Amino acid sequence: MKQIAGDTFLVGLSSKARQQRRPESVTFELTYGCNLRCVHCFNPTHRALPQELDRKEIVAILDQLADLGVLTITFTGGELGTRVDLEPILRHTHRRGLLIRLLTNATRVTPEFLVLLGRLNVEQICVSIYGATHETYERMTGVPGSYASFHRGLVLLAHADLPVIVRMPVTTLNYHEIEACRHLVENLGLKFQYCLDLTPTVTGDVTPLQYRLTPEEKIRIDRAMLSNWGSTPSTELCPPSDDFIECACGQNRFAITPYGEMNLCTAFPIPRYDLTTGTVREGWEVLKRTVDDARPNHQYECPICESRSYCRQGRNDAWLEIGDMSTCLPHFRQWAELEHRTHVLLDPRRPA
């Protein structure tokens, strides 16, 4: 019998779901509560407010997702480890046949929790790394002692034979430790990725952007990582599309907030369909209409932009930053133009 690698199988299912416009992958933020206070974070509260979904409500939503044929759930926060009912939620998800992925800062990992994750066949655990030293890590997280908790959790994960990826959000505070972070992670036998994108908070507060690298610095880091390590930044690439909202949000993916709002993505918090009064099935129809009815305004220049294939601006970036999906943001224009120019200069077919 022909064997298909797990990743290839999931990519195939995902593309089929997109063609059929079926939800296949969901990001579920279980809480905004977090034990860290990262400077770049897009979390609006860092505290679990009373309106967060309780376990019974979460289980009811998970049942609807399973009945609708959703395949993968990525649980995130805040920090998942701050939810005391995480274990029964994960057990229920597994019982319903959903594949589980987790995003965590690893500071609350325990040996018992890792045994549970092994039993539940968790498909992926993505851990954030904010620095390779106490100083840098804690300048990012704002919490004394957090580096020691993170490092202990990471070592436990490394010895647990679980599918772990460690991802570094690169900012003005930690970019000088990117190579050290890579060493730390790879010396533990784990896979390292980095990410250069930061967003405003989900409420549109642009404070996190003050920690964003300039386009020149981003390109310099990309080049250095590529030539030294052969690595590229981790960016979720979506298939090319003529749609105004080009990504997979509302095509085969969506997100749910800790308050039970169904949105295009965690970083694209519309249309805020309320699952505490409605159903996932109806919410999916609302999301599809949100994508299909979105229209560009007179600000929209992308179709005639010469740097489009180098651009990393999503519709959500401008929406979060200035409330208008059509606008080209100066940061992304400069980044795309610089990338474009660099590629032209490096093109071997370019006349001398």
Q: Is 301 in the site for ligand SF4 (CB under 6 A)?
A: yes
Query: Is 31 exposed, middle or buried, given 0-12, 13-18 or 19+ CB atoms closer than 10 A?
Result: buried
Record the tokens describing residue 121, joined without a space: 């066949």
Least distance between ligand SF4 and beta carbon 40 (Å): 7
Segment interacting with ligand SF4 (CB under 6 A) among 32-40, 85-93, 119-127, 173-181: 32-40
d(Cα 352, Cα 340) in Å, to the nearest integer?
18
Nearer to ligand SF4, 161 or 243 (CB): 243
Segment interacting with ligand SF4 (CB under 6 A) among 84-92, 250-258, 303-311, 340-348: 303-311
d(Cα 273, Cα 160) in Å, to the nearest integer?
39
Of 198, 253, 297, nearest to 65 by C-alpha is: 253
Of 290, 311, 293, nearest to 301 by C-alpha is: 311
Q: Is 333 in the site for ligand SF4 (CB under 6 A)?
A: yes
Least distance between ligand SF4 and beta carbon 220 (Å): 19
Nearer to ligand SF4, 66 or 143 (CB): 143
**Residue found by looking up tokens 């908070």 in the block:** 201
Of 111, 119, 140, 145, nearest to 128 by C-alpha is: 140
Nearer to ligand SF4, 17 or 265 (CB): 265
Q: How far is CA 43 from the centre of its chain?
A: 12
Segment interacting with ligand SF4 (CB under 6 A) among 29-37, 91-99, 113-121, 148-156: 29-37
Q: Is 116 in the site for ligand SF4 (CB under 6 A)?
A: no
Assess contact for 27 and 77: CB atoms under 8 A: no
d(Cα 19, Cα 251) in Å, to the nearest integer?
8
Assess contact for 166 and 127: CB atoms under 8 A: yes
Q: Is 43 in the site for ligand SF4 (CB under 6 A)?
A: yes
Q: Is 209 in the site for ligand SF4 (CB under 6 A)?
A: no
Q: Is 302 in the site for ligand SF4 (CB under 6 A)?
A: yes
Q: How many residues does the chain have?
A: 352
d(Cα 43, Cα 49) in Å, to the nearest integer?
13
Segment interacting with ligand SF4 (CB under 6 A) among 149-157, 234-242, 306-314, 343-351: 306-314
Segment interacting with ligand SF4 (CB under 6 A) among 41-49, 64-72, 92-100, 222-230: 41-49
Q: Is 245 in the site for ligand SF4 (CB under 6 A)?
A: no
| 221-to-80, 159, 208, 343 alpha-carbon distances in Å | 31, 30, 20, 15
Least distance between ligand SF4 and beta carbon 216 (Å): 16
Q: Which of 195, 305, 322, 338 binds ligand SF4 (CB under 6 A)?
A: 305
Q: Is 78 in the site for ligand SF4 (CB under 6 A)?
A: yes
Q: Is 307 in the site for ligand SF4 (CB under 6 A)?
A: yes
Q: Is 332 in the site for ligand SF4 (CB under 6 A)?
A: yes
Record the tokens describing residue 240, joined without a space: 């090319």
Least distance between ligand SF4 and beta carbon 242 (Å): 14
Those residues whose C-beta lies under 8 Å from the C-beta of residue 289, and which sit 6 or more positions away, are none
β-pair partners for 254: 26
Nearer to ligand SF4, 37 or 341 (CB): 37
Nearer to ligand SF4, 43 or 149 (CB): 43
Assess contact for 91 and 119: CB atoms under 8 A: no
Residues that bind ligand SF4 (CB under 6 A): 34, 36-38, 41, 43, 46, 77-79, 105, 301-302, 305, 307-308, 311, 313, 328, 332-333, 336
